[in-house]
Amino acid sequence: MSTIVAVRKGTQACIACDTLATFGSLKQKARYAESPGKLFPFRDMWIGTVGYSVHNTVLASYFDRHPDDVKLDTPAEIFETWRRMHAVLEEEYHLNPRKDSDDAYKTTRMTALIAGPRGIFHVTPARDVESLPRFWAIGSGADYALGAMFALFDGTDDVERIARAGVAAGAEFDDGSDLPVISQIVGLQT
């Protein structure tokens, strides 16, 4: 339950998220949380995950403890980082991969967006990584966010405006997302 988006255009990228946390039917709005965002920084990039709220804490901890093993500049590097990290998540962080799943591979049970100087990337629970040339959204509000960003993308170069509109649409129509929006802009290497 979330809406996280990433937009890339010109010399900038923007990643943005909503601020609602849910625990079953219990909602924790931004005003009740010290740090309501779903994004965290690593080096010169920002990462956001959907799924369990602990994902960001676990990733930040792993990245801090194993910085030499974390490379997030290309899809191949991100895949290898996630692949190496999976064994550590199971062993040291007690990741519980679904044993009753029909998935071909054990999953991390997290979906992530990464925005950094080398672009924006989508990471699936099976560790598939895609470099994104325009924009993408993840979470329960993703469908609404994608529509809003599509409607704005060709009409403006303001990546933050596009990203914030995507999250706002998710918050408006998805019961698992809410305002305010938190966004981060990253300069792209050309």
How many independent structural domains does the chain possess?
1
The CATH number linked to 158 is 3.60.20.10
Tally of CA atoms within 13 A in the half-sphere of 131 that contains its CB:
12
Per-residue pLDDT of the chain (190 residues; tens, 9 = 90+): 799 999 999 999 999 999 999 888 999 999 999 988 899 999 999 999 998 888 899 999 999 999 999 999 999 999 999 999 988 887 787 666 666 666 656 677 889 999 999 999 999 988 899 999 999 999 999 999 999 999 999 999 999 999 999 999 999 999 999 999 999 999 999 7
Q: What is the pLDDT of residue 35?
A: 87
Enclosing domain of residue 139: 4-187
Q: What is the pLDDT of residue 101?
A: 61
pTM: predicted TM-score of the whole model, two decimal places: 0.92
Q: What is the pLDDT of residue 108?
A: 72
As given in the structure block, the two tokens for residue 57 are 């804490």
Alpha-carbon dihedral of residues 112, 124, 157, 148, nearest 10 degrees?
-100
In angstroms, how far is CA 44 from the centroid of its own chain? 15
Q: What is the pLDDT of residue 184?
A: 98
Alpha-carbon gap, residue 185 to 12, rounded angstroms: 7
Q: What is the pLDDT of residue 107?
A: 72
As given in the structure block, the two tokens for residue 35 are 């740090």
Q: What is the pLDDT of residue 86?
A: 85
**Contact by Cβ (8 Å): 50, 57:** no
Alpha-carbon gap, residue 71 to 69, rounded angstroms: 6
Burial class (CB in 10 A: 0-12, 13-18, 19+), 145: buried
